[in-house]
Amino acid sequence: MASVWVGRRSRNAAVFVSRCTLFIAVLLLPLEARAFVRGTTSWTDGKPLSWSSGCVVLAVGDPQSDLVSWDQLTDAARAAAATWTEAAAACGGFQLVVEKAGGPLDAARGDGVNAVIFRSTGYCQQGCDPLSLAITWLYYDGDGRMHEADIEINGEAYQWDADIDGGTALYDLQTGIAHELGHLLGLAHNCYEEMGLPRPVDDQGVPAVICDPAATEVHASIMYPSDEPSADRRALSADDVRGICAIYPSGLDPTCQGGLTPDGGCCAIAPRVDSKRTFVECLAGVLFVLAALRRRRRS
Ligand SMILES: [Zn+2]
């Protein structure tokens, strides 16, 4: 599930010295520089997922919720998108643009709209774990080129906090959206969750670390399936930045992909008929419940 870097041996002394220097430099890298895992078209022998151009437009639907306003949801999505866009500006220059949709968005589907949907009711209508915190649907062709992604947030089972200062609710909206945007951009969870699926390989070409006992620097990634999505997890780690920079190098076509309504609007693209679809469930909710049960058993 990740690219593997392969080098060639050389007899050239200068190159050897250069490589030794590089090796020492690698040893001196901060501990937090570990690895990232890319999303792929399938669990085994899949092709890595990415967008073909350097800009994606996200449409935020009216949540029609008493707990989260449309403005709050849009602001949280804009802030999360800005986090990734600013990180990418230092390397490839990928841009995430967030706008309000034409109204409520009631379904995640291949309609040319990269939807952000907050569900107060009806979460998991298309089949997913009702205890997942959120889910990202990815639409792509056989080569792993994405042309649409929809994010659904589980406002039915969990209370989300849109307060920029944190507040008292369990889950921070900006943090949750930032994590889902990582999936939308083509990143998978940065560790192995041991849920019966094949173990992914990270960008270093080795099996991803196991999530639960993973080191602190692994927990620091926004792509860690955390059971504590609090407001202090909004920032990206060095691995998150390396991930987006590796997936989106400089020189990409800056054309934006995605419409604001299924009928068109800014930058609309036609739905693809040859599309495949997959989804990434974020099971932090399940992990949270399991953690709570473990704590209860211990007490
Ligand atoms: Zn996730």
| 203 inside domain | yes
Domain-located, residue 165: yes
Question: Parallel, antiparallel, or unpaired for β 95-100 and 115-119?
Answer: unpaired
CATH number of residue 65's parent domain: 3.40.390.10
pLDDT more than 70, % of the chain: 72
Higher local confidence (pLDDT), 193 or 280: 193
The whole-number pLDDT of residue 171 equals 86
Span 234-273, pLDDT tens digits: 899 999 999 999 999 988 989 999 888 775 544 434 444 4
How many whole angstroms from 274 Cα to the centroid of ligand 1?
A: 26
pLDDT value of position 108? 67
> What DSSP assignment string belongs to 101-170?
-SS------SSSB-EEEEESS-TTTTS--TT-SEEEEEEE-TTSEEEEEEEEEETTTS-EE--TT--SSS
How many Å lie between the centroid of ligand 1 and the Cα of residue 260? 24
Measured in whole angstroms, the distance separating CA 57 from the mean position of its chain's CA atoms is: 15
Tell me, in angstroms, the distance from the centre of ligand 1 to residue 282's CA: 4
Determine the structural domain holding residue 293 and report its residue range. 50-298
From ligand 1's centre to the CA of 18, what distance in Å?
Answer: 39
Residue 164 has what pLDDT? Answer: 58
Q: Is residue 244 part of a domain?
A: yes
Q: How far, in Å, from the CA of 176 to the mean position of ligand 1?
A: 9
Span from the CA of 179 to the centroid of ligand 1 (angstroms): 6
Contact 225, 287 (CB under 8 A): yes
The residue behind tokens 């379904």 is 107
Count of other CB atoms within 10 angstroms of residue 135? 26
The alpha carbon of 180 and the centre of ligand 1 are apart by a number of angstroms equal to 6
Ligand 1 centroid vs 14 CA: distance in angstroms?
Answer: 44
- Residue-level pLDDT at 25: 40
Residue 131 included in any domain = yes
Centre of ligand 1 from the C-alpha of residue 13, in Å: 45
Centre of ligand 1 to C-alpha 95, Å, is 20
3-state SS, one letter per residue, for 171-184? EEHHHHHHHHHHHH
Question: Contact at 8 Å (CB) between 278 and 77?
Answer: no
Alpha carbon of 174 to ligand 1 centroid (Å): 14
What is the number of structural domains in the chain?
A: 1
The residue written with tokens 């935020």 in the block is 60
Spatial CB neighbours of 147, under 8 Å, sequence gap ≥ 6: 51, 52, 139, 140, 141, 257, 269, 272, 275
**Rounded-to-integer distance, Cα 117 and Cα 150, Å:** 8
Q: How far is the CA of 4 from the centre of ligand 1 (A)?
A: 23
CA of 223 to the centre of ligand 1 (A): 6
Cα(281) to centroid(ligand 1), Å:
6
Q: Is 122 a domain residue?
A: yes
234 CA → ligand 1 middle, Å: 14
Q: Residue 266 falls within a domain, yes or no?
A: yes
Q: How far is the CA of 171 from the centre of ligand 1 (A)?
A: 14
Query: Closest Cα to residue 54, out of 82, 26, 89?
Result: 89
Q: What is the pTM of this model?
A: 0.80
Question: Mind listing the pLDDT tens digit for each residue in 66-123?
Answer: 989 999 999 999 999 999 999 999 898 899 999 999 899 977 677 889 999 999 998 9
Taking the C-alpha atoms of residue 67 and residue 266, their distance in angstroms, rounded to an integer, is 29
Whether 37 is in a domain gets the answer no
Read off the pLDDT of residues 202-226 as tens digits, 9 standing for 90 and up.
999 999 999 888 788 888 899 998 7
Residue 254: count other Cβ atoms within 10 Å of its Cβ. 11
Cα(21) to centroid of ligand 1, in Å? Answer: 37
Asked if the structure places residue 159 within a domain, the reply is: yes
